[in-house]
Amino acid sequence: MMGIKNNFKPLDSKVFVTQPLLPSLDSVEAQLTEIWESKWITNMGKKHNELAEKLKDVLKVKNVSLFNNGTIALLTALKALDLPYGSEVITTPFTFAATPHCISWNGLKPVFCDIEPKTMTIDADKIEALITPNTSAIVAVHVYGFPCDVYKIEKIAKKYNLKVIYDGAHVFSTEIDGKGIGEFGDITMFSFHATKLFNTIEGGCLTYNDDKLFKKIYNLRNFGIQSEELVEDIGINGKMNEVQAAVGLLNLNLYKEEQRKRALVKDYYDKNISGIKGIYVPQMPDNTTNSYQYYPIVINDDYPLSRNELYDKFKTYNVMTRKYFYPLCSDYECYKDLESSAKENLPVANEMKNKVLCLPYYGSLNQDVLSLVCGVLNEPV
């Protein structure tokens, strides 16, 4: 690990990549009092249903099904589309482990497609070459809040009759050409984990246009139980409880202000980082609104330090950046032997995994922290 060589001093406590959006304890207590008085704390209660309805407006989508976490939501999305067992699903290796794991848990085979370098999302121009007679779906990920090429993916899916599921863990409230991002594809999963812009502590949801999916997803989320005496499907327990939903209702009143504050942080970073030789700062396409979920930078070969050296450098100042996503999912022991995992098939992803660093990014970051982060980037040695 490199020593500190400039005039900046380590922070008194660790600063992490993100911080959970938290409503006041008084407001939480008021919500809990209502829940306790109702004696209804789970199984699609009043808070749950109210949150689902409000999210339709926030996300600009037709249907919302809430879940206890985003992974169970994505697992259910794949199950709900009745993809043939053992079929292939094209996805990205540049994502969180849950994405390929949900594919595999459904008895499907992940096929990794390379990414494009500007936004690190799946390279839509490379999808078609991976399609075989056994391909049933595409699971694409809107990485860091940058959208996939949804129009190109839609065209490919229609041509080959494939289902499209989007992992939208990073794109809460994002719009493309004025349209809610959850409207694209067959199903989109949103994560409401504590690390996300909008959270329900743990949680998530599925959005979809096909009304027929509502009953299917309801059954799968609730053990397959349709009524007291009727079990229609082999389901699991994916229900969001009332406490999670109550926190979500409170955070719906806070997330826009958090986005406003993060926009100011982004402006500060952009002004102080964008001109540094050897650092590339990805930017949102003009037709897309920003969820302000993460602030990634790309460390190129002409920067004085490698990404890993810079990561270690920040740690000496108590700044916990993140090598996000490293390693690639295709590097995992459980996937590394797949033909699509070969490094020659994923040249861009294998390059970017060693170059991307996510900086601390949340509304309450103070000037001292921001100055330190940008100062270290400007004077790394």
What's 107-162 look like in SS3? CCEEEECCECCCCCCECHHHCHHHCCCCEEEEEEECHHHCCCCHHHHHHHHHHHCC
1 pLDDT higher than 60: no
Contact present, 146 and 296 (Cβ < 8 Å)? no
Of 2-11, 28-37, 98-107, 364-373, minimum mean pLDDT range: 2-11
pTM of the model: 0.96
Per-residue pLDDT, averaged over 148-163, amounts to 98
Mean pLDDT of the chain: 96
DSSP-assigned beta bridge partners for residue 222 = 237
Per-residue pLDDT, averaged over 56-77, amounts to 98
- What is the percent of the chain where pLDDT is above 90? 96
DSSP-assigned beta bridge partners for residue 179 = 176
pLDDT of residue 226: 87
Q: From 3.30.830.10, 3.30.565.10, 3.40.640.10, 3.30.70.980, which CATH number describes the 25-251 domain?
A: 3.40.640.10
pLDDT of residue 196: 98
4 pLDDT higher than 60: no
CATH 3.40.640.10 intervals, the chain: 25-251
Domain 256-378 falls under CATH 3.30.470.20: no
CATH 3.90.1150.10 intervals, the chain: 256-378
Q: Report the SS3 class of residue 49.
A: helix
Per-residue pLDDT, averaged over 324-342, amounts to 98
3 pLDDT higher than 70: no
Cβ density class 325-344: b for 16+ within 10 Å, e for less: bbebbbbeeebeebebbeee
pLDDT tens string 197-221: 999 999 999 999 999 999 999 999 9
Classify residue 236 by burial, with Cβ atoms within 10 Å: 0-12, 13-18, 19+: middle
Identity at 105, one-letter amino acid code: W
pLDDT of residue 227: 87
pLDDT tens string 160-198: 999 999 999 999 999 999 999 999 999 999 999 999 999
2 pLDDT higher than 70: no
pLDDT tens string 22-44: 999 999 999 999 999 999 999 99
5 pLDDT higher than 60: no
Identity at 372, one-letter amino acid code: L
Dihedral angle over CA of 249, 81, 182, 176, nearest 10? 170
pLDDT of residue 6: 59
